[in-house]
Amino acid sequence: MFYKNYLVLLPGIVLAFVLYTLSQGFNNIIGIEILGYDKSPISTAMISILLGIFFGNFFSIRESFQKGLDFSRDYILKLGIICLGIQLKPFEFLDFGKIAIPLIIICIISILIVIKLLIKKLKIPTRMAYLISIGSTVCGTTAIMATAPVIKANKNEVSYAIANITLFGILSMLIYPYFANFYFEGNSLFIGLFLGTSIHETSQVAAAGLIYDQQFNSPETLNIATVTKLIRNTFLIIMIPLFAFLYNRGQRKERNYSILNIFPYFVLGFIGMIILRNIGDQIFATYNEDSWIKTIEFIQISSKIFLTMAMAAIGLSTNLKDIRNMGYKPFIVGFVAMLTVGIISISTIEIYLKFFI
């Protein structure tokens, strides 16, 4: 029975891996064989999600693949992010964190104010506005799904909000790495902070950081973007109780959420991998440095494979018809939210960080 439960995941996981392999193959053919570079300048992660969107919308994906694709999108993604921790040391995590937290707080407050003003003009339903707000400010679909039962949102409102976040998250994921490189002139710290605060989903931030790393050979940017986003995710434990209070104020309601249920535990796995790297550098490397270096390289390569598989699964699960049918008003709110968080992130980096770093 145990094996049967896990065997149903296999087709979807294999499909995600096949798309990763295809993406790597296309990347090599285009970048090396056709363009003549020693190393392809094209991102495998970008090709993977675009292939996923193409196959997911132009072909019918069998139901037997869906559970494995969901598993890849949720758990293989988190495993990839956890493995990224092997690239960092504890003090680097703390250094990035103390810079990222003020930036995250400013971005969250700003986007909430802007969306609050915008929904009055467009007369967006309050619950949908709350869902788009928390999806834009904290961690995308995860935040939406965690907030929906707290404010009694219906399925249509949840679907609209997720489609909104997906659309603008994918756009920013594909555009921002190149824009940030141009705007910040290759400064890995500023670019990582910008990607980590301005893109909605954890998966999209990881993909944008991976795209940047693959395009501009900057693993530090991927590290900073990931750390910033994981810190941003922990704000979920503050934002959901806040939204519950704001939505239900004046009404006597029981609390229908749990801090333990909404805490993103894979953040602890990421920190655990950082600690493992520190212990390994101090102990394992002393006995057999070559083996330890190979272990680190294996985990790093695995993390990028896992993330690219997750990107393929996300692409396959992105329904363009749902996005097209969501109506123009939520589209405007999502677009303004994307622009606002991007502009606030840039402004804060320009004004605050350049004076204090």
| Residue 3 confidence class, pLDDT cut points 50, 70, 90 | very low
Among 57, 48, 46, which Cα is nearest to 171's? 46
pLDDT at 194: 92
pLDDT at 281: 80
The pTM for the full model equals 0.73
Number of domains present in the structure of the chain: 1
Among 161, 258, 237, which Cα is nearest to 201's? 161
Answer whether residue 171 shows pLDDT above 50. yes
DSSP-derived letter for residue 352 is I
Give a yes or no: residue 1 inside a domain: no
Give a yes or no: residue 145 inside a domain: yes
Give a yes or no: residue 164 inside a domain: yes
Alpha-carbon gap, residue 21 to 58, rounded angstroms: 20
241-257 average pLDDT score: 62
| Residue 357 confidence class, pLDDT cut points 50, 70, 90 | low
Give a yes or no: residue 272 inside a domain: yes
Query: Which percentage of the chain shows pLDDT scores above 90?
Result: 6
Q: What mean pLDDT value characterizes the chain? A: 79
Alpha-carbon gap, residue 307 to 212, rounded angstroms: 14
Answer whether residue 1 shows pLDDT above 50. no
DSSP 279-292: HIIIIIHHH-HHHH
Among 229, 286, 232, which Cα is nearest to 85's? 229
More confidently predicted of 237 and 261: 237
Distance of CA 18 to the CA centre of its chain: 22
Read off the tokens for 17: 């891996």
Give a yes or no: residue 240 inside a domain: yes
Give a yes or no: residue 36 inside a domain: no
Among 259, 266, 260, which Cα is nearest to 239's? 259
More confidently predicted of 124 and 77: 77
CA distances from 305 to 27, 250, 311 (A): 14, 49, 10
More confidently predicted of 98 and 25: 25
Answer whether residue 180 shows pLDDT above 90. yes
4-13 average pLDDT score: 79
Instruction: Encode pLDDT of 12-45 as tens digits.
Output: 899 999 999 998 888 788 777 776 666 666 677 7
Distance of CA 41 to the CA centre of its chain: 22
Q: Among all chains, which residue has been given the structure tokens 């999108």?
A: 73
Give a yes or no: residue 47 inside a domain: no
More confidently predicted of 87 and 277: 277
Alpha-carbon gap, residue 334 to 328, rounded angstroms: 10
Answer whether residue 153 shows pLDDT above 80. no
pLDDT at 263: 65
Alpha-carbon gap, residue 275 to 89, rounded angstroms: 7
Give a yes or no: residue 294 inside a domain: yes
| Residue 248 confidence class, pLDDT cut points 50, 70, 90 | low
Q: Tell me the residue range of the domain where 236 lies.
A: 88-302+320-356
Instruction: Encode pLDDT of 99-130 as tens digits.
Output: 788 888 888 888 778 777 776 777 777 777 77
